[in-house]
Amino acid sequence: MPDTLPLPLQRHPLNRLRQLPVRRIICFVPFVLVAVWAVGNWPLVASGVSRLGGADISWLLMGAVVTGLCWVAASCVRQGTVVERLPTGRLLASQFAAGAANHLLPAGLGAHVVTLRFLRGCGIPLDRSTAALALYSLVEAVARIGLLLGLVLAFPDALRLDELVPPGSTVPTALLVAVAVIGAAVIVLLSIPRLRRFVAGFLRTALTDARALHKRPARALALWGGALAFPLLQAAVLVCVALALELPVSWPYIVIAYLAASIAAGFIPAPGGIGSVEPALAVALVTVGAPLVVATATVLGFRFLTVWMPLLPGVAVLAALVRWRVL
């Protein structure tokens, strides 16, 4: 009789498949997204890869080194958002893993989720961890926009905005939509007392923490210094790739193109910017005077160094941190 019984439930192959941790399966989503984008844009990818074959390898290696410094800058910003001292090694590992997680959810939510779990694991309460994420997003946006405005004032002829803004009522329509969205959000906030109390409490916590952080010079320096360094380092990677391909555009114009494209792509909720950063950056480079073919190859080289090359080790670190319950 026992010989005729089915396999035990825990040994059944289908049950083993069901028991696979969902978080481990999600770790492979970035590879699927990159593959889908590459297949959908294969002619563009093929021409860019062909052009990259003749690039100066020394400049590409320099770009890879600068890419590594980007995670150091991101770690500095994260440390600057909380008063407590965070463990340096685990903080750096969490930001490296956050780069891979950023390709799971749109608008940088993947990186925020990883950082939130890391801060909670360091004993920081949920309300203060959430306020730290909000402060990070605010400071990062202010630093990026401030850098762009400063460089545009220094090089007013860099971006030919008349070629980017279509004629007609596109801009007024966009402004009306933005005002309508903000107005709707205010109405919803005022009409729901529980939501209003939650937002008020969150703002009080965020402002209290922000004041405490700016009273400590080391935290303020890490916060603002890292927020300014991160986009500049990312732009430096793009400059390295441009030099490797002998792009006929001066480096300040390339930095302006990167800042403008990253800000524009941030309004498109694509996971990791896949499918939004590439065209925005290519258009920005063409706008500052780059030939289309070389601009395309430059964008692909930049994304390879900053996204595709670190993706596999980032996923491995993410899975390890999840398994070790650091996240």
Amino acid at 141: A
Q: Which carries the bigger pLDDT value, residue 174 or residue 327?
A: 327
pLDDT tens for 216-272 read 999 999 999 999 999 999 999 999 999 999 999 999 999 999 999 898 877 766 655
Whether the CB-CB separation of 310 and 67 falls below 8 Å is answered with yes
Q: Is the dihedral of CA 106, 110, 115, 121 positive or negative?
A: positive
Rounded Cα distance between 127 and 137, Å, is 16
Specify the pLDDT at position 164.
47
Rounded Cα distance between 253 and 260, Å, is 10
Specify the pLDDT at position 91.
96
Rounded Cα distance between 183 and 188, Å, is 9
Specify the pLDDT at position 317.
93
Which pair of structure tokens corresponds to residue 140? 């990062």
Whether the CB-CB separation of 77 and 91 falls below 8 Å is answered with no
pLDDT tens for 297-322 read 899 899 889 988 898 899 899 989 98
Specify the pLDDT at position 25.
55
pLDDT tens for 115-170 read 999 999 999 999 899 999 999 999 999 999 999 999 999 998 877 655 444 444 44
List C-alpha distances in Å: 34 to 27, 101, 303: 13, 13, 11
Q: Which carries the bigger pLDDT value, residue 52 or residue 22?
A: 52
Going by the DSSP 8-state scheme, the letter that residue 10 receives in this structure is G
Among the ranges given (36-40, 81-85, 147-151, 288-292), the one the predictor scored with the smallest mean pLDDT:
36-40
Can you give the length of the chain in residues?
Answer: 327
Specify the pLDDT at position 47.
67
Token look-up 């930049």 returns 302
Specify the pLDDT at position 5.
45
Whole-prediction pTM value? Answer: 0.80
pLDDT tens for 56-110 read 999 999 999 999 999 999 999 999 999 999 999 999 999 999 988 887 666 568 8
Among the ranges given (17-26, 109-118, 203-212), the one the predictor scored with the smallest mean pLDDT:
17-26
Name the packing angle between helices 292-303 and 57-80 (round to 10°): 50
Going by the DSSP 8-state scheme, the letter that residue 87 receives in this structure is P
Specify the pLDDT at position 172.
62
| Domain range list for the chain | 49-161+218-323
Specify the pLDDT at position 8.
47
4 has pLDDT over 60:
no
Quick one: pLDDT band at residue 20, thresholds 50, 70, 90?
very low
Specify the pLDDT at position 121.
93
> Nearest 5 degrees, angle CA 308-CA 35-CA 51?
60
Going by the DSSP 8-state scheme, the letter that residue 165 receives in this structure is S
Rounded Cα distance between 168 and 189, Å, is 34
295 has pLDDT over 60:
yes
Which pair of structure tokens corresponds to residue 149? 């405005």
Specify the pLDDT at position 296.
85
Quick one: pLDDT band at residue 50, thresholds 50, 70, 90?
confident
pLDDT tens for 180-203 read 777 877 787 778 888 778 778 778
273 has pLDDT over 60:
no
